Structure 1
């Protein structure tokens, strides 16, 4: 089954109009963060979200933006100059601020954003994550959030944590295996192909999260917009004939076993319609994905 197309906002241009069109075209989910758009993402998106109350929303906690620093320091939840924090006091404060800025009393999912930015040894990072998870469990118990997760770029590949470790830390934080950590977000594409390759072998974080019933959100499916220029029509034909290079590469990410949502920053109606057309096609078979990855492997940088 092909993953659901969702609107990612990291590299999005003209965010309100893009969100308005995507929502009217049937998108059911948006992913954002308070540090996107120079700290203005939530405020820019809030008016459109108000017009689409059923739209699922995921946002993040971790980065301390310049716009939020003064308020956070005044509130006593960070020290001046801190740019990233999972301190429980900051997690609670940022959760409240996220809901206020987005105009939502309840957020569907909140991710701890890029734990690798803490620059901590894994054992110390695990302690920090457990404490942050405990605060997010409290937020879930209060009805402020539905689920929480970890959004990472390198955390799994740099062996800072595994899905098994995250599961254990959340259970310790909640005091029960029935915790609210139910999602991970990581890059899935034909360039940063580790997660995709592992998933095809039924291993790695995507397979482990999916086996637990967690949502897996694939970020950067087009490698920050670079993949359509790096790939070739011949590669697209190997993936799925009749699609453009960008469409075929997007479908490849959406066909990754275990991925539930693909986050695409489509800024125009034409790009969004092309993406919807691509993901309406049947998933690319695992054997075809393996063949393409084998073709690409000799050309990847060391």
Structure 2
């Protein structure tokens, strides 16, 4: 068993460092990945990434759902967004999903997108299930048109609150595709030693991570350092349980990368040293499940 691969998250990058960060992600071509969204960095993330992506063919995942800063006027003029939807800041209607996919391709300089996540569908107006079905149908059409390889769902709390489950998503994708041969291939959710519900479930072969893994889907762990706060919360004693020779941030990353079913850990850092530390941590052998259980038990008792 290997640990999960490292991927560059762009949510917390400093804009001047985006190009170099994306180039560093290409240092491991076999596992390189960049995750972004049209609303990251004030709506500038994708255009800032484009020059590096032109030099290095790093696979990229982006998103649809949130109305990116400064794009509402263009979307309204194109007839794909209403004023009320723009005010809400989130939209998963088919016209807007298609429009946002096309804009993502243009901003990233890619004729075909590797992965598009439906971004926080729990924020959708009305019934989230209906919104997801509309979005999945539009994304299946993007795949059929050759403009997209696969799609997924990126959520912050949708699984925890029960708004949807992996079996629900699988069923909706089958309905959207008209068969079980759909192109829903990934989920992205927070997985850390603090946001540990799905983590704990996975250690017992339950919950969204295990259910996604059973289907052969990719599982992207976001917020693995809890927005950079986890190293301040974790103790050296906890680190020693995981791997004594690692730093606190490295131990936290390795723990997440060792969670059964997690295939990629997203690290959002502008610092070359932090990126190198993350690469070194994920090159370590995985932490055994009994040790991970002990670590989570210690945290739960604090």
Query: Normalized against structure 2, the TM-score is what?
Result: 0.96
Using the TM superposition, give the Cα deviation of residue 25 of structure 1 relative to its aligned residue in structure 2, in angstroms: 5.1
Using the TM superposition, give the Cα deviation of residue 66 of structure 1 relative to its aligned residue in structure 2, in angstroms: 2.5
Q: Number of matched residues?
A: 295
Residue 40, structure 1, aligned to residue 44, structure 2: yes
Aligned to 2:281: 278
Q: Which deviations, in whole Å up to 9, do the C-alpha atoms of 1:43-99 show, x marking residues without a partner?
A: 10000000012x111000000023111110100111122410000000000000000
Distance in 1 separating the partners of 2:70 and 2:56: 26
Q: Which deviations, in whole Å up to 9, do the C-alpha atoms of 1:170-204 show, x marking residues without a partner?
A: 00010000000010000000000001000000000
Residue 179, structure 1, aligned to residue 179, structure 2: no
Distance in 2 separating the partners of 1:164 and 1:264: 28
Distance in 2 separating the partners of 1:57 and 1:21: 14
Aligned to 2:165: 162
Aligned to 2:34: 30
Aligned to 1:2: 3
Using the TM superposition, give the Cα deviation of residue 246 of structure 1 relative to its aligned residue in structure 2, in angstroms: 0.3
Residue 97, structure 1, aligned to residue 103, structure 2: yes
Residue 18, structure 1, aligned to residue 21, structure 2: yes
SS in 2 for 1:292: helix
Q: Which deviations, in whole Å up to 9, do the C-alpha atoms of 1:109-131 show, x marking residues without a partner?
A: 000000121254xxx21112111
Q: Which deviations, in whole Å up to 9, do the C-alpha atoms of 1:123-170 show, x marking residues without a partner?
A: x21112111111100000111110001000000000000000000000
2:294 to 291, 294, 300: 291
Distance in 2 separating the partners of 1:141 and 1:126: 22
Distance in 2 separating the partners of 1:20 and 1:164: 37
Residue 67, structure 1, aligned to residue 73, structure 2: no
SS in 2 for 1:67: coil
Residue 222, structure 1, aligned to residue 225, structure 2: yes
Aligned to 1:238: 241
Aligned to 2:147: 144
Using the TM superposition, give the Cα deviation of residue 215 of structure 1 relative to its aligned residue in structure 2, in angstroms: 0.5
**Structure 1 stretches of at least 4 aligned residues deviating more than 2 Å after TM superposition:** 24-27
Distance in 2 separating the partners of 1:267 and 1:82: 31
